[in-house]
Amino acid sequence: MADTMQFDLVSPERRLASVPVREVRLPGSDGDLTAMPGHAPAIVTLRPGMVVLVGADGSTSEFAVTGGFAEINADSVSLLAERGHPRAELTQAVYNDMLAEARRAQQSAESRREHVGEEVVTAAVKLVGDMVAMGTHIGLDPNQSTVPD
Amino acid sequence: MPSLKDLKNRIGSVKNTRKITKAMQMVAAAKLRRAQEAAEAARPYADRMSAVMAGLTANAAGQAGAPRLLAGTGSDQRHLLVVMTAERGLAGGFNSSIVKLARQHADRLRGEGKQVAILTVGKKGREQLKRDYGDLFVHHVDLSEVKRVGYDTARMITDDLLQRFDAGSFDVATIFYNRFETVISQIPTAKQVIPAEVPADAAPANALYEYEPGEEELLAELLPRSVATQIFAALLENAASEQGARMSAMDNATRNAGDMIDRLTTQYNRSRQAAITTELIEIIAGAEAL
């Protein structure tokens, strides 16, 4: 069996990465998981978090994603994310922007609570929670982001 | 017979027009290249999305608990037409061809006794539809502030669409846009986005996939994204088509202006020659009279 698999990270606007990797650690919405070559085919939704790639030579690189889903096959992983940033590009400003977007979504869900149902509100609250957790994890301050009214 | 001065002014003004159309053509060519690149870059995401969706929808379509975005509301009485046009004119038949297709659809649906509502994206389509269908407008998305069509624009339109769908204000949504074929050919296209169409040839081949969370939750999450992706793709195609149409329209205009300048110059030279001849005849006649 090959010891690497093809990893593609695509956003709607462009292809962000396309590299061979030895393993991929994904923030699945039901829990983190690692995909390695020979993984059973699966489609997994993601929560906001860091995707860690381990290259053929053992070097790691990280990407921040704001949810999306991943298609895992025995020899490839395709990650479809609405927003994705390499760790190096993820500055406080970018992070503030992402967090503000999630908070806005939460506000709009809460203001239309009767309309959209409790589930949507819970999901939006959880999304913000995940974003905050991701920020603290990589050392960015979640309190700097403010929601414009 | 226009005077020599008139002709000279006319030639000057047509020359200016030619300069402008030439410049517009070159700007459109540059923008077209960028629009095409953007459309190209968006393709991997759209392809994967539709591949995954094809498998999922084929599995779920027949089932009773299928989400409303896939199964529909059970009626097709109320239609929403999303007419996507440009913010600016001078692009040949770009805007009118979309509007024409939308008109045909609206008239046909109304002929069948169905309710039609129209959501316009881009100013030009709104202007053209206003007179006949003004009372059917439900919303307008203004793109004049948008420099480059991004995914957030598509998201904004989709969110609005889904809110309306959840509120129960329509059963079927169709988008109208120009599909980019080549620089000289753009094909006005109507595409139903809600409820999602199940591709006829999609076999439930993805059955071997493991889904996490379950298939239904996944489908419920992916359907809105799939709508957004389709709208994004349509916006990109439209942007490329607009520039393509403008480029060929301006190319024609430039060539026309060139022909006109040639004709006017010939006419100018003839009248100048005629004036000289008349003067000569007058001088000779005067000399002979002496």
The pLDDT of residue B24 is: 94
Interface test with B, best of A9, A13, A39 (most B CBs within 10 A): A13
Mean pLDDT across A76-105: 81
Q: Which residues of chain B make contact with A34, given a CB cutoff of 8 A?
A: none
Q: Is A55 on the interface with B (CB under 8 A)?
A: no
Beta bridge partners of A53: A24, A61
Nearest to A78 by CA among A68, A90, A88, A89: A68
Q: Is B218 on the interface with A (CB under 8 A)?
A: yes
Cα B196 to Cα B80, B171, B206, B221, B227, distances in angstroms: 14, 11, 18, 13, 8
Nearest to B57 by CA among B256, B206, B184, B257: B206
Write the residue in B49, B210, B221 that is nearest to A45 by C-beta. Answer: B221
Mean pLDDT across A112-128: 72
The pLDDT of residue B175 is: 93
Asked if A51 and A27 touch (Cβ cutoff 8 Å), the reply is yes
The pLDDT of residue A97 is: 79
Predicted confidence (pLDDT) per residue in B146-171, tens digit: 777 888 888 889 988 988 888 888 88
Kindly report the average pLDDT of chain A as a whole number: 81
Q: Is A6 on the interface with B (CB under 8 A)?
A: no
Task: Provide CB contacts within 8 A for B94, sequence distance 6+.
Answer: B85, B86, B178, B186, B241, B242, B245, B246
Could you tell me which residue, B192 or A137, shows the higher pLDDT? Answer: B192
Residue A123 has pLDDT above 80, yes or no: no
DSSP string, chain B: ---HHHHHHHHHHHHHHHHHHHHHHHHHHHHHHHHHHHHHHHHHHHHHHHHHHHHHHHHHTTSTT--HHHH--S---EEEEEEE--S---STTHHHHHHHHHHHHHHHHHHTT-EEEEEEESHHHHHHHHHHHGGGEEEEE--TT-SS--HHHHHHHHHHHHHHHHTTS-SEEEEEEEEE-SSS-EEEEEEEEESPPPPTT--SGGGG-EEES-HHHHHHHHHHHHHHHHHHHHHHHHHHHHHHHHHHHHHHHHHHHHHHHHHHHHHHHHHHHHHHHHHHHHHHHHHHH-
Q: What six digits make up the tokens of B47? A: 């392809």
Other beta carbons less than 10 A from residue B283's beta carbon: 10
Query: H-helix or E-strand containing A2?
Result: none
Asked if A36 and A68 touch (Cβ cutoff 8 Å), the reply is no
Give the separation between CA B217 and CA A126, rounded to whole angstroms.
16
Give the separation between CA A148 and CA A127, rounded to whole angstroms.
18
Q: What six digits make up the tokens of B256? A: 């026309």
What dihedral angle (degrees, nearest 10) is formed by the CA atoms of A123, A125, A131, A134?
-90
What dihedral angle (degrees, nearest 10) is formed by the CA atoms of B105, B109, B111, B114?
-160
| A41 with B49: Cβ contact below 8 A | no
Q: What six digits make up the tokens of A117? A: 């149902």
Predicted confidence (pLDDT) per residue in A15-63, tens digit: 888 889 998 999 888 888 899 898 888 888 888 888 888 888 888 888 8
Query: H-helix or E-strand containing A129?
Result: helix A118-137
Nearest to B20 by CA among B289, B224, B249, B173: B249
Give the separation between CA A98 and CA A83, rounded to whole angstroms.
9
Give the separation between CA B275 and CA B4, rounded to whole angstroms.
9
AA letter at B191: K
Sheet with strand B137-141: strands edge to edge: B137-141, B115-121, B78-84, B172-180, B186-194
Give the separation between CA A106 and CA A51, rounded to whole angstroms.
24
Interface test with B, best of A6, A7, A14, A83 (most B CBs within 10 A): A14
A24 by DSSP, 3-state: which? strand
Torsion angles phi and psi, residue A89, rounded to 5: -85, -10
**Domains, in order of start, for chain B:** 4-21+250-289 (1.10.287.80), 28-247 (3.40.1380.10)
CB pairs under 8 A between A and B: 68
Asked if A117 and A72 touch (Cβ cutoff 8 Å), the reply is no
Other beta carbons less than 10 A from residue A77's beta carbon: 25
Q: Is A78 on the interface with B (CB under 8 A)?
A: yes
ipTM: 0.74
Across chain B, which has 290 residues, the per-10-residue mean pLDDT values are: 89 96 94 91 86 78 71 83 90 90 92 90 90 87 81 87 87 92 89 78 60 79 88 92 93 96 95 94 92
Nearest to B240 by CA among B93, B48, B30, B97: B30
pTM for this model (two decimals): 0.83
Task: Provide CB contacts within 8 A for B252, sequence distance 6+.
Answer: B92
